[in-house]
Amino acid sequence: MTGGDSRNIVITGVTRGLGRALALEFAALGHRVSGCGRSGSEIGPRVSCAAVDVTDEAAVRAWAREREAAEGPPDLLINNAGVINRHARLWEVPLDEFRRMWEVNVLGVFHVCRAFLPAMVARGTGVVVNVSTGAGVRGFPEIGPYCTTKHAVEGLTRSLAEELPEGMAAIPFQPGVVQTDLLHRHYGTRAAAYPEPDEWARVAAPFLLDLSARENGQSIRMPQVRGS
């Protein structure tokens, strides 16, 4: 994909952090952006934001139908919504917290793909980007449930890549370390060494727009931005 024409882009988790920054940057580049978050909010011009919880299959399907009626199938579908557990050793993580993380980080991706992919496959074009992380590949202490869900996203996406028709792509995407509220909670003052979401998005948006069938099934890491 190239960034020269206006794309129909769908992103989950756009009310804050990387999702919000990406949505605004895509819109600034002239693309049509449809986003969702658990509570819909005004994001900016050219960005439609709906109140959709990705764990609610019926709500996701209704949102997909509404967006497809308005804009057609997405050219770029980004599963960005995600949560992380509070730092704790695995045997100390509450069951409800683990379950909620699985429902958002994995089932949420599944629901969104099931809702949007049929129309994309019928058209025969489009790129699905599922946000992963290096932690899902390597593993880190005290965020085992989070690492587990992101490892699942990697496997789900690579398997999906084998199922898509020629000309489409499913890509696990590792965004690198970015200065979000989450990073400040976990890194403290060290978070200042990493790029802020808006700075990151100025590089990430064109990078994501350039992904195509040639990257199908590849786990892609975001190029370094400043201290990331």
Cα 100 to chain centroid distance, Å, stands at 17
d(CA 33, CA 103) in angstroms, rounded, equals 25
Alpha-carbon gap, residue 129 to 84, rounded angstroms: 19
Sign of CA dihedral 186, 188, 193, 196: positive
SS3 13: coil
Measured distance CA(166)–CA(89) in Å, rounded:
43
Q: What's the rounded Cα separation, in Å, for the pair 33 and 5?
A: 13
| Residues acting as catalytic residues | 146
The amino acid present at 138, given as its one-letter code, is R
Q: How far is CA 111 from the centre of its chain?
A: 13
- Cα–Cα distance between 4 and 2 in angstroms, integer? 6
Rounded-to-integer distance, Cα 135 and Cα 150, Å: 7
